[in-house]
Amino acid sequence: MKRLCVGLIGYGTVGQGVVKILKSSRAVFRKKYGCDFHVKTIVDRIIHKKPTAELNARYSKRPADVLGDPDIDIVVELIGGKQPAKSIVESALASGKDVVTANKDLIANHGIELFALANRTGRHLYYESAVGAGIPIIKTISEGIAGNGFDAVYGIVNGTCNFILDEMTTKQCSFADALKDAQRKGYAESDPTLDVNGVDSAHKIAILANLAFGKLVRVRDVHTEGITHISATDIAFAEQMDLRIKLLAIAKKDGRSLDVRVHPTLISTRHSLASIHGIFNAVYLKADKLGNAMLSGEGAGQMSAASGVVSDLINCANAPAGPINANNPEQVKGLTLRGIDNIECKFYIRVQAKDEPGTLAQITTILGRAGIGINSVQQAVHEVAAFVPVILLTDYTTERTLRRALNAIQALSNIKGKPVAIRMETLW
């Protein structure tokens, strides 16, 4: 029986979930995994809720009480954000402790230094809950399908956005109404900015790109668009064409270049990712040996995140001595990052066009001259209005080319407002 002494830094919702699991499952873990976790010290600025006495933990406001304690084998960092989390993790690794963290901000921004430090000190750094909470995405990429290279990773990694888009799809409501609903249900923060503007997803795809492609991708390298501009109109038109809008976090290799981006994306309603509903998360992997695979599940919430932390603890307890190289985002030679301007996509375009002869010809002429192929055109002929929506699905074209063409279309006298353009992905 391995007896492992745990120091917990950050005692919020997830930390309390972790303690709950370690307490309630202690007998099972001893029997099943041969390890006995003892939470010796819990650190937080304020301890709002002390666990019952049987846990027999010490409470402190000073991380040093964990970091300086030679008894403690594993530090669980759950305070989030860059600092003091970074210093805490560094100090723990440097003093010979293993670390489990759920901190996406830390891993996305400082993973490379921290993994290098863990390798130098021969310690483990586990971070399953940083992406998709307890869904074993990190474990799957690094171990579950070890031996595979990747062609692409597509993620629905923000439950708030997925809930909002799903609500807009099923209830045909506006973004604002769906957001209010998400807030009422506790699926969105009162300030939902970092979720709905895609920044949260950008952190997560940076982590996954580093891991899957062995290429350092910084958060600032990720082209990021959110979902605030998505309208119920476009969702409805898309559904008519068997397409569904999801906020996808994408890392895709094309030859020797890698593009990493987050944006609303139209995918086939028949694809598995289209059936990820509500606050669920999913990651769709194109692996070079296994083929296509998907993981999905509850990617947020106290017990899901706590589950990921506990799995990390168990795996850490049963890990071999020495560093795990698979976690290192090494610089792969010759793989370069491709900027958004040079990415080729198919596009969904909607323009509000004056319902008169010649308008469609003008639009298609502009696209044709730009070399943009058109796969389908649909005009809402039954609407009685001066301006009616025209929907065009293009063939592959670069962002740069498309944007120029859209500017030209917008300048036409018989067009109202700014054309809407949404990228499409063929995932099979």
Cβ at position 62, least distance to its own copies in Å: 29
Q: Is residue 86 annotated as a catalytic residue, yes or no?
A: no
Cβ at position 214, least distance to its own copies in Å: 7
Cβ at position 388, least distance to its own copies in Å: 32
Nearer to its own copies (CB atom), residue 204 or residue 350:
204
Nearer to its own copies (CB atom), residue 159 or residue 264:
159
Nearer to its own copies (CB atom), residue 293 or residue 377:
293
Among candidate residues 40, 86, 104, 204, the one labeled active-site is 204
Binding site for its own copies (CB under 8 A): 21, 25, 28-29, 31-34, 133-136, 139-140, 143-149, 214, 270-272, 274-277, 285, 287, 289-298, 301, 303-304, 306-308, 310-311, 313-315, 318-321, 324-326, 330
Cβ at position 141, least distance to its own copies in Å: 10
Residues 6+ apart with CB under 8 A from 44: 9, 10, 11, 12, 15, 59, 61, 79
Cβ at position 243, least distance to its own copies in Å: 15
Nearer to its own copies (CB atom), residue 33 or residue 396:
33
Nearer to its own copies (CB atom), residue 29 or residue 237:
29
| Residues designated catalytic | 204
